[in-house]
């Protein structure tokens, strides 16, 4: 009998023990052994008993065999290094920690199956001690480690999927930021240039004012681009209260043939940063739509502070449009703005409605966009000031 077989028999000789008569001193002990054996054999987790000092697997339960694709006999003939071929340094450090502390846990090891597949594992281990009779018949105390091993492949896959989803959401957020800042600023500049074309031909003070308006819009777009970059690190309202930012956006679109007005009702107060950012972006998108599509002469923005949130209303007297919000963006038909506005409101538990029409009695009666966003856990501090952008 070689030393490996001797260790198997000495440590787990209960596998071959005869049953004692009921009522004998050994009966209760035998029942306990059978109970522990049943737990070992029927555990849903893989259980290994290993001897790290000798680099051998002393025992393994059926779940361990199934997880790695070996028979029990095959596993007991393998060194531990066959299961952790490229992680022995990590395993030895873990085993020493378990010996020192009596127990341990790790999720930094993988188990290699019979087919060569690596399974990420979560391992909980503890020390077991017993007396072993050596070749000369002397009792020698030995230490083994019993470890419960759980295959966490599905967990790791779920974590990877969650990270991928977070990346997709971040890409969508960045797309909204670009659309809501640079694209809208350029739209305003183009609109103002078109409106200025006639007065530029006539020259004079009106032409100069029109060109100054375009220059101011270009400066605003530059500042907005810088603000978008700044927003990647912090909030979008640096230097402004929400009401100030909304009023500024409203005034910015006023031109030769378009008047704008801003109103605020309710108890004005600081909202959570995510709510304020969403309201500002929705307002910017709604105003951009007025410039691009409405052909209106009047637009009114109203910020209504409610008991449990805020409601933004943007109203124009333009030609109206089909107010159905598309389910997804079509690069040929557009519609990203409405989708962006709806997503921003819904991500914060709010709602967005659009009332407009190109047909029937409502035709030509303008458009009303209403965004209502709840604001649980409102805060009171004054927003910090963002450094002013320069013209360079």
Give the CA dihedral 175, 178, 180, 185, nearest 10 degrees. -160
Asked if pLDDT for residue 287 goes beyond 70, the answer is yes
Q: How confident is the model at residue 375 (pLDDT cuts 50, 70, 90)?
A: confident
Strand-by-strand arrangement of the 259-265 sheet: 259-265, 298-306, 309-316, 367-374, 351-355
pLDDT in tens, 113-147: 999 999 999 999 999 988 777 778 777 888 999 99
Of 3.40.50.720, 3.40.50.1980, 3.20.20.370, 3.30.565.10, which CATH number belongs to 157-374? Answer: 3.30.565.10
Cα maximum dimension of the chain: 118
> pTM of this prediction?
0.43
Spatial contact of 223 and 239, defined as CB atoms under 8 Å apart = no
- pLDDT, residue 202, reads 62
In the CATH hierarchy, which top-level class contains the domain 3-151? alpha beta
Query: What gap in Å lies between CA 290 and CA 95, rounded to an integer?
Result: 69
**Cα dihedral 104, 105, 106, 110 sign:** positive
| Burial annotation 22-56 (CB, 10 A radius, 16+ → b, else e) | eeeeeeeebeebeeeeeebeeeebbbbbbbbeeeb
**285: Cβ contacts below 8 Å, ≥ 6 apart:** 179, 180, 184, 337, 340, 341
The CA radius of gyration of the chain, in Å to the nearest whole number, is 36
Q: In the chain, where are the structural domains located?
A: 3-151, 157-374
Residue 387 tokens, joined: 């450094």
Residue 260's pLDDT band (cuts 50, 70, 90): very high
């Amino acid at each position: 009998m070689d030393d490996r077989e001797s260790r198997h028999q000495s440590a787990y000789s209960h596998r071959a023990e005869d049953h004692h008569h009921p009522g004998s001193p050994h009966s209760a002990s035998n029942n306990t052994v059978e109970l522990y054996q049943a737990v070992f054999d029927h555990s849903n987790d893989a259980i290994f008993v290993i001897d790290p000092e000798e680099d051998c697997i002393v025992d393994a339960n059926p779940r361990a065999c199934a997880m790695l694709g070996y028979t029990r006999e095959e596993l007991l003939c393998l060194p531990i290094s066959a299961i952790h071929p490229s992680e022995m340094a990590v395993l030895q450090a873990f085993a020493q920690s378990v010996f020192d502390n009596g127990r341990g846990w790790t999720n930094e090891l993988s188990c290699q199956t019979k087919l060569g597949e690596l399974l990420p594992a979560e391992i909980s281990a503890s020390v077991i001690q017993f007396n072993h009779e050596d070749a000369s018949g002397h009792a020698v105390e030995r230490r083994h480690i019993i470890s419960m091993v759980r295959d966490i492949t599905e967990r790791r896959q779920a974590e990877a999927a969650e990270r991928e989803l977070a990346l997709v959401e971040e890409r969508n957020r960045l797309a909204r930021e670009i659309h809501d800042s640079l694209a809208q600023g350029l739209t305003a500049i183009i609109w103002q240039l078109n409106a200025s074309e006639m007065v530029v031909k006539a020259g004079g003070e009106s032409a100069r004012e029109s060109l100054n308006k375009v220059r101011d819009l270009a400066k605003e777009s530059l500042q907005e681009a810088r603000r978008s970059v700044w927003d990647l690190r912090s909030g979008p309202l640096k230097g402004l209260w929400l009401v100030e930012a909304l009023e500024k956006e409203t005034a910015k679109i006023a031109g030769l043939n378009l008047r704008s007005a801003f109103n605020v009702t309710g108890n004005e107060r600081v909202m959570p940063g995510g709510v304020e950012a969403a309201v500002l972006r929705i307002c910017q998108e709604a105003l951009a739509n007025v410039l691009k599509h409405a052909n209106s002469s009047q637009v009114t923005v109203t910020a209504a502070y409610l008991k449990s949130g805020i409601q933004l209303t943007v109203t124009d007297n333009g030609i109206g449009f089909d107010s159905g919000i598309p389910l997804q963006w079509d690069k040929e038909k557009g519609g990203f703005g409405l989708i962006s506005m709806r997503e921003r409101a819904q991500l914060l538990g709010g709602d967005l409605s659009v009332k407009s029409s190109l047909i029937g009695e409502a035709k030509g009666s303008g458009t009303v966009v209403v965004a209502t966003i709840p604001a649980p856990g409102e805060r009171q501090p004054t927003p910090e000031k963002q450094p002013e952008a320069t013209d360079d």
